[in-house]
Amino acid sequence: MREGEADPGLYDYLPYRDRPKIAWPDGKTVAVWVSPNLEFYELDPPANPHRKSWPKPHPDVVGYSHRDYANRVGHWRMAEMMEEHGFKGSVSLSVALCQHVPEVVENANRLGWEFFSHGIYNTRYSYGMDEAQERLIIEDSIRTVREATGQTIRGWLAPALTHTPRTLDLIAEYGMTYTCDLYHDDQPMPVATRSGQLISMPYSLEVNDHYGFFIYNMSPREYAQTLIRQYDRLADEGAQSGTVMCIPLHSYLIGQPHRIGAFEEVLRHIAADGRAWITRSGDIADHYLAQRGAVA
């Protein structure tokens, strides 16, 4: 992607109803993946001149401690419920969590969850980085996750959704196969990069619990109903060509006692419906790329 371009040419335009058909395993119509954001926030991080880390003057004890609920309580409650209903996580990981709270990472790894990078800290941003700095972040992510889990990360969600013009080219160069940073489609799509083979993995802002509770001010029941409507529509449309539904979560939000029950109804609905391929992001990428290669 070149700076200053109105259309950076990241992907081709393809009308929704005029594409090669995607077929998911066993005749399923929608691939469903849950993305717990396992994050670490610094109480008093270094200042970035392009964006403040906390809305209040540092140290923001309230914001920090609210988010720390995730690693102390919320993750464990959410993970137990996901496991009970047969959902494996695809983790958007603040890589520093491997050192700060290794117990959470170890638990997710034992459950068979996949890890992809969400940067090092969610309080340090890509804005203003030069290429050497951004390469170090990517290399640190690959090395740290491999040492902590034995996994090699294959996907990327930029820290706090912050980017540089070269981010997608760099992650493709380092061998990653999918980015979660494009919100433009309900199906995987090829992404144009200088090297490698990168696709966009449908993530979501619209049904992200952060947006549901902080932006749209939904009640737990309203958020659950939104997820069910999202699923039912994508499962219907996927009968023509397979769709993808991502459920992005932050356990300091969805893992609260007053919200988790409504979320369980969503998991129960999807698991019982019969049309969902309940899977992980890397498995979706593998299946899509294999099918696309066969078509090509």
Q: What is the 3-state secondary structure (H, E, C) of the chain?
A: CCCCCCCCCCCCCCCCCCCCCCCCHHHCCEEEEEEEEECCCCCCCCCECCECCCCCCCCCHHHHHHHHHHHHHHHHHHHHHHHHCCCCEEEEECCCHHHHCHHHHHHHHHCCCEEEECCCCCCCCCCCCCHHHHHHHHHHHHHHHHHHHCCCCCEECCHHHCCCCCHHHHHHHCCCCEECCCCCCCCCEEECCCCCCEEECCCCCCCCHHHHHHHCCCCHHHHHHHHHHHHHHHHHHCCCCCEEEEEEECHHHHCCHHHHHHHHHHHHHHHHHCCEEECCHHHHHHHHHHHHHHHC
User: Residue 8 falls within a domain, yes or no?
Assistant: no
> Which residues form the domain of 176?
25-292
Q: What is the pLDDT of residues 131-189, one digit of tens each?
A: 998 999 999 999 999 999 999 999 999 887 777 888 999 999 999 999 999 999 999 99
- Tokens 């991080």 label which residue? 45
Q: Mean pLDDT, to the nearest integer, of 291-295?
A: 70
pTM recorded for the entire structure: 0.92
Per-residue pLDDT, 295: 47
Per-residue pLDDT, 296: 42
Q: Mean pLDDT, to the nearest integer, of 1-17?
A: 76
Greater confidence (24 vs 165) lies with: 24
Give the Cα separation of 130 and 263 in Å (integer). Answer: 41
| Res. 222 pLDDT band, cuts 50 70 90 | very high
Give the Cα separation of 45 and 34 in Å (integer). Answer: 29
Confidence check: pLDDT of 284 > 50: yes
Question: Which range, of 131-135, 208-212, 274-278, 290-294, averages the lowest pLDDT?
Answer: 290-294
User: Residue 284 falls within a domain, yes or no?
Assistant: yes
Per-residue pLDDT, 5: 59
User: Residue 10 falls within a domain, yes or no?
Assistant: no
Q: Mean pLDDT, to the nearest integer, of 31-50?
A: 82
Phi, psi angles (nearest 5°) of residue 281: -60, -40
User: Cα angle vertex 32, ends 29, 37, to 5°?
Assistant: 165
Structure tokens, 196 = 């490698």
Give the Cα separation of 181 and 201 in Å (integer). Answer: 8
**For all residues of the chain together, what is the average pLDDT?**
91
Percent of the chain with pLDDT over 70: 91
Per the structure, the count of domains in the chain is: 1
User: Residue 31 falls within a domain, yes or no?
Assistant: yes
Give the Cα separation of 278 and 177 in Å (integer). Answer: 20
Question: Which range, of 44-53, 153-162, 283-292, averages the lowest pLDDT?
Answer: 44-53
Greater confidence (141 vs 59) lies with: 141
Per-residue pLDDT, 130: 86
Beta bridge partners, 248, equal 35
Confidence check: pLDDT of 294 > 90: no
Structure tokens, 91 = 């983790």
User: Residue 125 falls within a domain, yes or no?
Assistant: yes
Q: What is the pLDDT of residues 185-215, one digit of tens each?
A: 999 999 999 999 999 999 999 999 999 999 9
Confidence check: pLDDT of 65 > 70: yes
Per-residue pLDDT, 235: 98
- In angstroms, how far is CA 273 from the centroid of its own chain? 24
Structure tokens, 226 = 């939104």
User: Residue 14 falls within a domain, yes or no?
Assistant: no
User: Residue 13 falls within a domain, yes or no?
Assistant: no
| Res. 243 pLDDT band, cuts 50 70 90 | very high
Question: Which range, of 16-25, 46-55, 109-118, 287-296, averages the lowest pLDDT?
Answer: 46-55
Confidence check: pLDDT of 63 > 60: yes
CATH code, domain carrying 77: 3.20.20.370
Q: What is the pLDDT of residues 99-122, one digit of tens each?
A: 999 999 999 999 999 999 988 787
Confidence check: pLDDT of 54 > 90: no
